[in-house]
């Protein structure tokens, strides 16, 4: 998996957490996602704007 693919997965997962699981803070969504997908590796975490765009698309 390359860096771009990982980042897309992280953005999607963060947005899903916020829209469907009620996580209200970007930081919390990022931490949960890092734990689920990257074994707590924070290297590729998306920025808030990237997550926000995906949240908008899911809403």
Q: What is the pLDDT of residues 25-35, one digit of tens each?
A: 999 999 999 99
Which residues touch 40 (CB under 8 Å, ≥6 apart)?
Answer: 34
- Which whole-number Å values give the CA distances from 32 to 1, 16, 28, in the listed order? 20, 11, 6
In DSSP notation, 16-59 reads HHHHHS----HHHHHHHHHHHHSTT--TTPPPHHHHHHHHHHH-
| Greater model confidence, 42 or 34 | 34
Model-level pTM? 0.92
Helix (H/G/I), strand (E/B), else coil: 31: helix
Tell me the residue range of the domain where 43 lies.
Answer: 3-58
Query: What is the residue-averaged pLDDT of the chain?
Result: 94
Number of independent structural domains in the chain: 1
Q: What is the mean pLDDT of residues 8-25?
A: 97
């Amino acid at each position: 998996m390359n860096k771009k693919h990982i980042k897309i997965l992280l953005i999607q997962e963060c947005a899903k957490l916020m829209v469907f699981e009620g996580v209200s803070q970007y930081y919390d969504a990022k931490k949960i996602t890092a734990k689920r997908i990257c074994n707590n590796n924070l290297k590729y975490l998306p920025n808030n704007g990237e997550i926000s765009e995906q949240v908008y698309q899911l809403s």
